[in-house]
Amino acid sequence: MKTILFTFFATTATLLFLFSCQKEIRFISQGELVRDANNNCKPVIVTGHFISGNYLSAADHLEVEVHFAAIGAYTIATDTVNGYFFNAEGNVKDTGFTSIKLSGHGKPLNAGNDQFRIVYGNSSCTASVRVLNAASTASFTLEGSPNSCIDTVVGGYIKGVSMDPSSHVIIEVNVTTPGIYSVSTDTVNGYTFSSAGTFSFPGEQVISLVASGTPLNAGTDVFTLNAGPSTCTFSITVLSAFVATNNDLFPLSINSFWNYDDTFYGNVKTSIIDTGTHNGNLYTVMEEQINPTGPVLHLYRRAGADYYEYMVIDGYTSSLHYGKRIYDDILFLKENLSTGDTWETKEFTDTADFGQVLVLQYRFACVASNTSVVVGTNAFSHVYEVEMVPWLRTVNGPYGQANEKYKWYYAKGVGLIYRKTLSVGFNYGEQNIKNWHVN
């Protein structure tokens, strides 16, 4: 289950795509570790149980921040200290600042503070990991005790929908003695929260209480958390999921409308206003009201289980613009998707506005199917999450990913409920649904 945050989305945003001096596309992994003036990794997050004599597990890792200047494969690793080490390998798809998790391997031999040197490319920084004796138990208090916890609620809570790790509460604590801890709340309305781990150092820090169970009823639930002599409470709001009367993932019925919250444009409204025929195909006309630029018309059609938008072929990317406005059908959504399903458009070839001939293809993937999502104050079931990445190549060259990614969430009987674009390593924009009416 996932909760969508409020920022802005701009479908017509134009970002520069980086080309070499010869206008050839380059996809080379480059970057450096983020560190301070003393060469300490900044920030570094140590997570897990580091106990002398115990082998590390998948839960034991370091997290460092890397500034990627170019996409591609990467390898980040530490030296071996006190019988264990950390490393990570992968392929970064966006430039900019990215947190990378380094998995732990081996078995700490002795208790104490271990200093690691982390290396990525030509850059390096240091990080410290504290190893505890097996008998060490933490001592800490809950910030806000004996009243409300100082907390941040993350995730969606929907009546009748089982919790998963994306639903959790972040609690502030003050550690006096480092060591192992385990805490849990009472069970309220069919679900509970718990957390276990290791505090490696004293002082103020946070823990994440993960939800488990299934909320039985909608409403506000109050939980109590105990840690030694301190106690605090926090509240969770449980929503009822919208019950749809239409089963389409992208309804196209006349006079249907949707209102979205867009922090760049304010309120954005889309409405089905008409139908029309082009090249022998019947399209539904959707009007998008955007202030202050005025209305934009979109042409959609459904063929069996497939949904198409008739549009300019470079309209789903800001990585390039062709010199001519060429229109075609883009297959952007399908019914009956399963997690892991993929599809791609045909190849589009033309001369970019800077004079180079480039080939463009859109590649789609269903990353979550028939799930539940909370968008603002609305809860939805039967939600499908679709991601798309534009791929580019020269006429005779290999494909490479553009530095952007698009995400759409569709709910059966409602349509588009949320969308987001990531570009050049940062979250460029989001848009979330406020209210709607489907005929």
Is the CB of residue 320 less than 8 Å from the CB of residue 352? Answer: yes
Q: Is residue 168 part of a domain?
A: yes
Same domain? 250 vs 234: no
Decide: 7 and 429 in contact? Cβ < 8 Å: yes
Closest by CA position to 402, among listed 339, 332, 316: 316
User: Which of 222, 238, 254 is the endpoint of a domain?
Assistant: 238
Q: Which residues of 157-170 are buried (b: 16+ CB within 10 A; e: fewer)?
A: bbbebebbeebbbe
Question: Which residue, of 182, 208, 238, is where some domain finishes?
Answer: 238
DSSP three-state, residue 75: strand
217 and 156 together in one domain: yes
Planar angle of CA 413, 419, 424, nearest 5 degrees? 160
pLDDT computed for residue 427 by the predictor: 59
Q: What is the pLDDT along the chain (439 residues), one digit of tens a residue?
A: 444 433 333 333 333 333 333 344 445 679 999 999 999 998 888 887 788 888 998 888 999 999 998 888 999 999 999 999 999 999 888 888 899 999 999 999 998 999 999 999 999 999 999 888 877 889 999 999 999 999 999 999 999 999 988 899 999 999 999 988 989 999 999 999 999 888 888 999 999 999 999 999 999 999 999 998 899 999 999 999 999 888 999 999 999 999 999 988 889 999 999 999 999 999 999 999 988 878 999 999 999 999 999 999 999 998 899 999 999 999 999 999 999 999 999 999 999 999 999 999 999 999 999 999 999 999 999 999 999 999 999 999 999 999 899 999 999 999 999 999 887 655 568 999 999 999 9
DSSP state of 94: S
Residue 54 in 3-state DSSP?
coil
- Quick one: DSSP state of residue 51? B
Give the separation between CA 372 and CA 26, rounded to whole angstroms. 39
Which pLDDT score is estimated for 71? 84
Do 232 and 320 sit in the same domain of this protein?
A: no
What is the identity of the amino acid at 267? N
Q: What is the CATH number of the domain that holds 145?
A: 2.60.40
In this predicted structure, what is the pLDDT of residue 385? Answer: 97
Comparing C-alpha atoms, which of 398, 400, 439, 403 is closest to residue 421?
A: 403
Do 368 and 389 reside in the same domain of the chain? yes
pLDDT of residue 201: 87
In-domain check, residue 80: yes
Kindly tell me the number of DSSP H helices and DSSP E strands found in the chain. 0, 31
Q: Is 298 helix (H, G, I), strand (E, B) or coil?
A: strand
CATH number for position 9:
2.40.360
| 281 and 386, same domain (yes or no) | yes
218 falls within a domain: yes
Whether residue 352 is contained in a domain is answered as yes
Is 273 found in the same domain as 226? Answer: no
Based on the fold, state whether residues 47 and 6 are members of the same structural domain: no
Residue 262, in any domain of the structure: yes
Q: What CA–CA distance (Å, rounded) separates 74 from 122?
A: 12
Decide if 253 contacts 439 (C-beta within 8 A). Answer: yes
- Separation CA 246–CA 437 (nearest Å): 11
Whole-model pTM? 0.70
Q: What is the pLDDT of residue 29?
A: 77
Write down the pLDDT at residue 25: 47
**Among positive and negative, which fits the CA dihedral 145, 150, 153, 158?**
positive
Residue 225 belongs to some domain of the structure: yes
Query: Exposed, middle or buried by CB within 10 Å (0-12, 13-18, 19+), for 138?
Result: buried
Co-location of 184 and 327 in the same domain: no
In this structure, is the dihedral angle defined by the CA atoms of residues 428, 433, 434 and 439, taken in order, positive or negative? Answer: positive
DSSP 398: P
CA dihedral 374, 375, 376, 380 (to 10 degrees): -50
- Three-state DSSP class for residue 321: coil
What's the total number of domains in the chain? 3
Residues 207 and 255 in one domain: no
**26 within some domain:** no
The radius of gyration of the chain's CA atoms, rounded to the nearest angstrom, is 25
End-to-end CA distance of the chain: 28
The DSSP line for 119-166 is EETTEEEEEEEEEBPTT-B-EEEETTTTSB--EEEES--BTT----TT
Last residue in a domain, options 191, 217, 238: 238
Q: Are residues 351 and 211 in the same domain?
A: no
Judge if 108 and 231 occupy the same domain: no
Quote the domain boundaries for residue 249.
2-16+245-437
**Spacing of C-alpha 169 from chain mean position:** 18
* Residues 358 and 320: beta-carbon distance below 8 Å: yes
Is 24 among the domain residues? no
Please indicate, yes or no, whether residues 263 and 190 belong to a single structural domain of this protein.
Answer: no
